[in-house]
Amino acid sequence: MSNNNAAVVEIAQTASKFTSSIVLHSENKYIDVKSILGLFTTLVSSHSYELHVHGPDAEEAKKAMTEVFQKHGLHISVAS
């Protein structure tokens, strides 16, 4: 179980560029991706995550978030 500080910071910073709500669903938890603290307590590379994005710039946000998660080797699927 490794927590990648760079991944957490970059994910939160990327999410903060968008006005859309970006929420990570992991097991029974929902985490606001713009919350660095929430990510620190949740993000582990061995898990798969589902990303829920809702808002005016959702399409751009989905693309950017998928790229940043993949860059750091994290498994993500985007909920439709």
Domain extent at residue 52: 3-78
pLDDT at 28: 84
At residue 33 the predicted structure's pLDDT band, cuts being 50, 70 and 90, is: very high
Domain count, the chain: 1
DSSP state of 28: T
List, edge to edge, every strand of the sheet that includes 21-26: 29-32, 21-26, 48-54, 75-78
pTM of the model as a whole = 0.86
Beta strands in the chain (DSSP E): 21-26, 29-32, 48-54, 75-78
DSSP state of 6: H
At residue 53 the predicted structure's pLDDT band, cuts being 50, 70 and 90, is: very high
CATH number for the domain spanning 22: value is 3.30.1340.10
Q: Please report where in the chains the tokens 């993000």 appear, as a residue.
A: 43
At residue 74 the predicted structure's pLDDT band, cuts being 50, 70 and 90, is: confident
At residue 45 the predicted structure's pLDDT band, cuts being 50, 70 and 90, is: low
- Calculate the alpha carbon distances from 74 to 9, 11, 55 in Å: 14, 11, 23
